[in-house]
């Protein structure tokens, strides 16, 4: 059987490669592959809307660049910060450039990329459990990966396959659902579960507020609160067996993200609320140095006042935090943070599209905007080094622009 080699197929291969490569958790490799892809697929024009959106990230980088000259930092950390702050920019551009009008169904294009990484992830899960003997949440995640936002988008695309005009046989649909469902579950990531339900509500159109949407969102909030209350009183153990460890993390989620007072001498409290501790130290440092307005620039680091294990390293000074808002605050201050919040608000722009495809893209954008608020608070948002949702968003920008150019609205 011959496979036609055309622009659309080449773009599918490049897009899948760009989605998969961050999963190896070697940022230098991801940065190189994404930059090479940009060079290979460079366009001569971009939509005005896309340029306006991506300019937010350029402004944040520019502010951080200017104010790094007011401090003395090591060149290594300055260069590293430049590559880190380029992460959302490069991802959005890659996604935008790899859209091609000859792609028959753009959502199917995105789905296949998600299935590719899901298959690889399931292989790692099996290897971790069967070969390495992983038996709890922490060990499985250490071997197979901590989260993957792109797979959740792919799963949502599959769930709404009829709405998105995907034509798969029942057998193939079930196979894809099993692959993506199992893979998504085995990340055992709270943010991915939240992401799934946010996008589910978004694609149903319930974030476009009306009486029905208010009822659905209100019911969802009640169910979540009841579920959390049940987990809280079940009182799962910190290092319990099976799902206990995962349920314990759910129980501690509000404190982990929003604690304002943490006893560093109490290792359990410190560990459970570490992400909040990063935020506290960032604000304290910027306030002490009078750098809240414009940040401390490229090369800046937060002093945690003690050594902590992060991944496989012991660190006291950290360049990037779990909280994307605080990372932007550190590098570019309140000014940069306001710009970043403006970039998120872009997804909530009111659009009265009659065209079905444009309406679906709009729903994806609204869901992404809501999720970015959560994602930035606990997992760095677009700035996460293994994040790939920026590829999808850039792709959808280009797809929407093509639909509008063709006279559909």
The pLDDT of residue 3 is above 60: no
| 359 and 378 together in one domain | yes
| 323 and 186 together in one domain | no
Residue 305: which of 325, 285, 286 has the closest Cα?
285
What is the number of structural domains in the chain? 2
Percent of the chain with pLDDT over 70: 95
| 74 and 136 together in one domain | no
Q: Rank 5-9, 237-241, 336-340, 375-379 by mean pLDDT and report only the highest.
A: 336-340
CA dihedral sign, ordered 189, 191, 193, 195: negative
More confident site: 227 or 14: 14
Residue 267 falls inside a structural domain: no
| 326 and 406 together in one domain | yes
Report which secondary-structure segment, H or E, holds 316.
strand 313-318
Pairwise CA distance, residues 29 & 34, whole Å: 9
Residue 10 falls inside a structural domain: yes
| 27 and 96 together in one domain | yes
Report which secondary-structure segment, H or E, holds 308.
strand 302-310
The pLDDT of residue 2 is above 60: no
Q: Rounded mean pLDDT of 321-325?
A: 90
The DSSP symbol for 317 reads E
Cα distances from 375 to residues 22, 73, 80, 273, 324, in angstroms, run: 17, 29, 22, 17, 8
| 96 and 111 together in one domain | no
More confident site: 30 or 407: 30
Query: Which ranges constitute the DSSP H helices of 267-346?
Result: 267-272, 274-288, 324-345
| pTM: predicted TM-score of the whole model, two decimal places | 0.90
Q: In this predicted structure, what is the pLDDT of residue 1?
A: 39
**Inter-residue contact 388 to 379 (CB < 8 Å):** no
| 306 and 231 together in one domain | no
Q: In this predicted structure, what is the pLDDT of residue 210?
A: 74
Query: Which ranges constitute the DSSP H helices of 204-243?
Result: 211-234
| 82 and 123 together in one domain | no
Residue 274 falls inside a structural domain: no
**Inter-residue contact 187 to 148 (CB < 8 Å):** yes
| 240 and 126 together in one domain | yes
Q: Both tokens of residue 22?
A: 């961050």
| 253 and 303 together in one domain | no
Residue 282 falls inside a structural domain: no
For residue 65, give its domain range.
1-102+289-409
| 225 and 326 together in one domain | no
The DSSP symbol for 236 reads -
Pairwise CA distance, residues 394 & 41, whole Å: 14
Q: Which residues contact 296 (CB under 8 A, 6 or more apart)?
A: 67, 68, 71, 286, 289, 330, 331
The residue assigned the tokens 């996008």 is 199
């Amino acid at each position: 059987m011959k496979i036609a080699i055309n622009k659309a197929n080449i773009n599918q291969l490049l897009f899948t490669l760009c989605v998969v490569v961050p999963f190896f958790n070697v940022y230098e490799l991801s940065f190189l592959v994404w930059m090479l892809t940009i060079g290979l697929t460079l366009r001569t024009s971009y939509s005005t809307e896309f340029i306006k959106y991506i300019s937010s990230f350029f402004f944040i980088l520019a502010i951080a660049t200017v104010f790094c000259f007011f401090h003395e930092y090591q060149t290594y950390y300055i260069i590293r910060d430049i590559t880190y702050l380029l992460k959302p920019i490069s991802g959005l551009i890659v996604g935008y450039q790899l859209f091609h009008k000859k792609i028959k169904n753009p959502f199917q294009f995105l789905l296949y990329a998600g299935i590719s990484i899901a298959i690889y992830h399931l292989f790692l899960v099996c290897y971790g459990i069967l070969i390495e003997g992983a038996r709890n949440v922490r060990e499985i995640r250490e071997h197979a990966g901590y989260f993957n936002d792109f797979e959740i988008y792919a799963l949502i695309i599959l769930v709404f396959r009829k709405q998105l005009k995907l034509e798969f046989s029942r057998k193939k649909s079930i196979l894809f659902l099993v692959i993506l469902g199992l893979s998504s579950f085995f990340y055992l990531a709270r943010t991915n579960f939240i992401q799934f339900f946010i996008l589910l509500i978004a694609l149903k159109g319930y974030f476009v507020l009306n009486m029905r949407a208010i009822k659905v969102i209100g019911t969802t909030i009640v169910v979540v609160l009841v579920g959390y209350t049940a987990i809280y009183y079940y009182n799962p153990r910190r290092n319990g067996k099976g799902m206990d460890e995962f349920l314990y993390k759910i129980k501690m989620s509000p404190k982990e993200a929003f604690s304002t007072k943490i006893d560093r001498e109490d290792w359990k409290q410190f560990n459970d609320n570490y992400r909040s501790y990063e935020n506290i130290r960032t604000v304290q440092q910027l306030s002490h140095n009078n750098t809240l307005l414009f940040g401390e620039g490229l090369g800046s680091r937060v002093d945690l006042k003690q050594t902590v294990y992060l991944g496989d390293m012991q660190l006291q000074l950290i360049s990037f935090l779990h909280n994307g808002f605080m990372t932007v605050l550190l590098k570019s201050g309140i000014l940069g943070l306001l710009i970043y919040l403006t970039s998120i608000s872009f997804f909530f722009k009111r659009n009265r599209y009659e065209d079905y495809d444009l309406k679906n893209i709009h729903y994806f954008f609204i869901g992404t905007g809501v999720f970015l608020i959560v994602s930035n608070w606990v997992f760095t948002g677009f700035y996460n080094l293994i994040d790939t949702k920026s590829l999808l968003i850039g792709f959808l920008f280009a797809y929407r622009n093509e639909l509008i150019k063709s006279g559909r609205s």
